[in-house]
């Protein structure tokens, strides 16, 4: 039997329900104190200059773009990017399961007057795009309202962080280019996709004029996003950021923390993925336990076991929390836990984690 406190001896606890590290207010405050001790952090003025400019330059280089701008949220990043590409009132093809269509409160429609044309599912293919473009031209016999842009999101949160199949992704981009559509990538979780597919972030978003990456999902900030693209577009986004109330007086704490975690992030997440592979294999070997990966999976997997119920799941969750392992809430529709790989999987002995799960699971599965 593995000692209950053994996991904590290896560092932080293991969080299995988040994309990043869920820092407590105390931990976040301590981190800011440490990052500002012994150095003169150049603050920004209404989100311009100082450490913010340093971070934006670093982010632009990582994404292979000319410039980048910090924004308070991914919603603002997506809306301002699409408005820049399609113009006010322009038509934009989006996936039905995308964040911009399902989770933004119609921000693109209300704030930028955009007409979002939703394709069913999360991963539009080339034929989906060609059909919409053709139909739009036919409608233009009476009133010409051409489609101007295409937004793709990958990985897709609503599909458990599944990513585009490479061939379908290439097909969609090719169809958009043939129709002269401008391209924006909702890459909130782009860096996770990079680790799981083995390509650099810059390579993955090279076909897109603009790309957005979440700062709190990967770099553990309290909030924030970064939008990268051509200098002319990013300059315009900075002006519209101010007009939309997003030019915060100072946003240096976000830039400072994001820059800190950006350094070496891909390498650390790659190591965490390797740890997770060992843990998944160990869990899969337990009687009646399965780890399911969705098609083109990135950092999410569904953990199920024979005889799972809500009551048993809650008991198991409490038992594991005593051992420093934090699970997300149990998904009754899926009869399991959707767990996510993040940096906290590093420096965790895989055999200890599997042993903790064995101890928590088997007493529960023996209950009549």
Q: What is the CATH number of the domain that holds 11?
A: 3.90.1150.10
Residue 1 within a domain: no
**155 and 293 assigned to the same domain:** no
The predicted-structure confidence for 52-68, as pLDDT tens digits, reads as follows 999 999 999 999 999 99
Same-domain status, 30 and 98: yes
> Is residue 234, in this structure, part of any structural domain at all?
yes
| Residue 108 and residue 252 in one domain | yes
| Stretch (H or E) spanning 345 | none
Is 2 contained in some domain? no
Q: In CATH, what number is assigned to the domain containing residue 185?
A: 3.40.640.10
pLDDT tens digits, one per residue of 73-105: 999 999 999 999 999 889 999 999 999 999 999
Residue 10: the pLDDT is: 38
For residue 364, what pLDDT band results from cuts at 50, 70 and 90?
very low
What pLDDT score was predicted for residue 139? 67
Q: Which of 301, 303, 299 is nearest to 320 (CA)?
A: 303
DSSP, res 197:
H
Mean pLDDT for 247-254 is 96
pLDDT at 5: 45
Residues 81 and 11 placed together within one structural domain of the fold: no
Position 38 confidence tier, pLDDT thresholds 50, 70, 90: confident
pLDDT number for residue 362:
84
Strand 300-305 and strand 337-340: the pairing is antiparallel
Question: Does residue 358 carry a pLDDT above 80?
Answer: yes
Final residue before a domain boundary, out of 245, 262, 279: 262
**Domain finish residue from 246, 262, 278:** 262
Do 73 and 109 sit in the same domain of this protein?
yes
More confident residue, 4 or 138: 138
Q: Does one domain contain both 118 and 247?
A: yes
Confidence of residue 8 (pLDDT cuts 50, 70, 90): very low
Report yes or no on 295 lying in a domain. Answer: yes
Give which of 317, 321, 281, 280 is closest to 301, Cα–Cα.
280
Residues 242 and 289 in one domain: no
- Is the domain of 198 the same as that of 283? no
Q: Tell me if 169 is assigned to some domain.
A: yes
Does residue 304 sit within a domain? yes
Digit-coded pLDDT (tens) for 169-224: 999 999 999 999 999 999 999 999 999 999 999 999 999 999 999 999 999 999 99
Residue 117 pairs with which residues in a beta bridge?
Answer: 93
Among candidate residues 253, 196, 187, 245, the one with its CA nearest the CA of residue 220: 253
* More confident of the two residues 312 and 8: 312
pLDDT recorded at residue 365:
45
Residue 321 falls inside a structural domain: yes
Where is average pLDDT lowest: 122-126, 149-153, 361-365? 361-365
pTM of the entire structure? 0.93
Same domain assignment for residues 304 and 217? no
List, in sequence order, the alpha helices (H) in the chain.
25-36, 50-63, 74-86, 99-102, 107-112, 126-139, 166-178, 190-197, 201-204, 215-219, 231-243, 252-262, 265-284, 310-322, 350-365
Are 150 and 291 contained in the same domain? Answer: no
Decide if pLDDT at 270 tops 60.
yes
Rounded distance between C-alpha atoms, residue 222 and residue 192, angstroms: 19
Picking from 200, 235, 262, the residue at the C-terminal end of a domain is 262
Do 100 and 189 share a domain, yes or no?
Answer: yes
- The range of the structural domain enclosing residue 223 comes to 26-262
> 221 with 304, same domain?
no
Q: Domain total for the chain?
A: 2
Q: What is the pLDDT of residues 120-139, one digit of tens each?
A: 999 999 999 999 999 888 76
Identify the pLDDT of residue 30.
94
Share the mean pLDDT of the chain. 93
What confidence score (pLDDT) does residue 141 get?
Answer: 60
């Amino acid at each position: 039997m593995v000692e209950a406190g053994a996991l904590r001896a290896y560092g932080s606890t293991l969080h299995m329900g988040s994309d990043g590290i869920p820092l407590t207010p105390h931990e976040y405050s301590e981190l800011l104190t440490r990052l500002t001790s012994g150095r003169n952090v150049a603050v920004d003025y209404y989100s311009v200059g100082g450490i913010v400019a340093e971070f934006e330059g670093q982010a632009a280089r990582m994404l292979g773009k000319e410039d980048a701008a910090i924004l308070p949220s991914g919603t603002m990043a997506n809306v301002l990017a699409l408005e820049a590409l399609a113009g006010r009132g322009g038509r934009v093809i989006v996936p039905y399961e995308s964040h911009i269509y399902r989770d933004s409160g119609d921000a693109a429609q209300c704030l930028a007057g955009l007409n979002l044309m939703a394709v069913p599912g999360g991963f539009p293919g080339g034929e989906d795009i060609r059909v919409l473009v053709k139909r739009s031209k036919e409608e233009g016999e009476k009133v010409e309202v051409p489609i101007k842009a295409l937004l793709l999101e990958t990985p897709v949160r609503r599909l458990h962080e599944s990513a585009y199949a490479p061939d379908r992704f290439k097909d969609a981009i090719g169809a958009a280019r043939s129709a002269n559509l401008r391209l924006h990538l909702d890459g909130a979780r782009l860096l996770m996709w990079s680790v799981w597919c083995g390509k650099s972030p810059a390579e993955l978003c090279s076909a897109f004029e603009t790309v957005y990456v979440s700062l709190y999902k990967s770099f553990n900030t309290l909030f924030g996003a970064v939008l990268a693209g051509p200098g002319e577009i990013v300059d315009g986004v900075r002006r519209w950021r101010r007009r939309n109330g997003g030019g915060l007086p100072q946003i240096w704490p976000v830039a400072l923390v994001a820059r800190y975690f950006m350094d070496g992030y891909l390498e650390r997440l790659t190591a965490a993925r390797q740890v997770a592979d060992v843990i998944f294999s160990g869990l899969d070997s337990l009687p009646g336990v399965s780890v399911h990966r969705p098609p083109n999976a990135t950092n999410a997997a569904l953990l199920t076991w024979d005889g799972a119920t809500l009551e048993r799941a809650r008991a198991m969750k409490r038992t594991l929390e005593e051992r420093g392992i934090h699970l997300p809430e149990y998904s009754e529709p899926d009869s399991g836990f959707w767990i996510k790989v993040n940096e906290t999987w590093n420096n965790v002995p895989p055999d200890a984690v599997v042993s903790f799960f064995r101890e928590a699971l088997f007493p529960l599965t023996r209950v009549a």
